[in-house]
Amino acid sequence: MLAIYKREMQAYFTSPVGYVFMAMFLAVNAFIFAFCTLLMGMESSLSSYFQFIMWAFIVLVPILTMKMFSEERRARTEQLLLTAPISLMGMVMGKFFAAFTMFAGTFIFGSLINFPLLYKYGTPNTATLISSSVGIILIGAAFIAIGLFISALTENQIVAAVGTIGVILFMLVIGFLSSFIDVYAIRAALTWISVFSRYGNFGFGILDIASLLYYFSICFIFMFLTVRVYEKRRWS
């Protein structure tokens, strides 16, 4: 797994993908932070800041994940991975943690620039900042796992990116759809699986164990599905 992780991290910095992602993430992060704190009011808009960041993942996460497996198939290097002395789960986890490192590192770096300004010009709730940041990082991890799975299904990076955008958008808006459904059981089910609805407690400074397990479960399920895709491909 470590060899795959190092290989993918190196690939991010020897191609434009890593730099494009970091530049876009930091630019979007700075714009949203300035918009929320300067134009909407600092204290009342912290929740809005994190929610806008979450919606930005619709475009940002696919940049990280669209080439992870699809490029291997296109370049015909997939067989090298399948015959390497490493388990399929180790291969998938190596790629996942490389993408997650890029994502979490960039988010933390942007936060270290933005958050001190909150304390300089106001008195933000530290617990809310920490829990909200943890929630955002977990959501990003879940979306990365989804992006990896979709990338494993196709050799076309554009198809992988569009598919990831569609799934992430669906998982964010599904909670809002529940308000238009009169059947309680369906409404409760949609709310339960909604990524956006699960984030609610983090925004109030609460590290909700059920939500933590939910996001970890999404990561595990989609990484497991990715492994199954490659198990089938190995023996086909």
pLDDT for 127 equals: 84
Q: What gap in Å lies between CA 149 and CA 108, rounded to an integer? A: 25
What residues contact residue 38 under an 8 Å CB cut-off, 6+ apart? none
At 176-231, the pLDDT tens digits run 776 677 777 777 777 777 888 888 888 777 888 888 999 999 999 999 999 998 88
Q: Is 2 exposed, middle or buried (0-12, 13-18, 19+ CB in 10 A)?
A: exposed
Q: What gap in Å lies between CA 111 and CA 117, rounded to an integer? A: 10
Contact by Cβ (8 Å): 68, 89: no
Identity of residue 228: R
At 73-87, the pLDDT tens digits run 777 777 777 777 778
Q: Which two tokens stand for residue 51?
A: 């929610």
Q: What gap in Å lies between CA 5 and CA 27, rounded to an integer? A: 26
Q: For 63-79, what is the mean pLDDT?
A: 82
Q: What gap in Å lies between CA 115 and CA 72, rounded to an integer? A: 38
Q: Which two tokens stand for residue 30?
A: 């700075």
pLDDT for 236 equals: 65
The dihedral sign for the CA sequence 207, 208, 210, 212: negative
CA distances from 199 to 15, 38, 98, 191 (A): 33, 24, 24, 11
**Residue bearing tokens 């949609």:** 190
Rg of the chain over CA atoms, in angstroms?
19
Whether the model clears a pTM of 0.75, i.e. scores above it, the answer is yes
